[in-house]
Amino acid sequence: MTTMGIDPAQLSDEDVVRELRQLHATRSDTFFHGSDDALARHTSRTNELEAEYLRRNPDRDVDPYRLREGARERS
């Protein structure tokens, strides 16, 4: 699939985060109720934006409780 909408590389950091939050908020509805084309497009756009976010933030903060060791500590 080709990019629909603005190329993620051309978006500001704030726009990338805003778009990702919106896509994550609408994922369940798209998955359970969207057409096959809508789900495929949702998935590809999410992947594009997540890849761009990770490219810009390779050293992003990672919550230690989101790691395997952190999960073991909570148990």
The ranges assigned to domains in the chain are 18-56
> What local confidence, expressed as pLDDT, does residue 1 receive?
46
CA neighbor of 5 nearest in space, from 29, 32, 39, 16: 16
pLDDT at 5: 82
Do the beta carbons of residue 16 and residue 53 sit within 8 Å? yes
Reported confidence tier of residue 67, pLDDT bands at 50, 70, 90: confident
pLDDT band at 71 (very low <50, low <70, confident <90, very high): low
Q: What's the chain look like in SS3?
A: CCCCCCCHHHCCHHHHHHHHHHHHHHHHHHHHHCCHHHHHHHHHHHHHHHHHHHHHCCCCCCCHHHCHHHHHHHC
* pLDDT at 74 > cutoff 70: no
- For 17-59, write each residue's pLDDT tens digit: 999 999 999 999 999 999 999 999 999 999 999 999 999 999 9
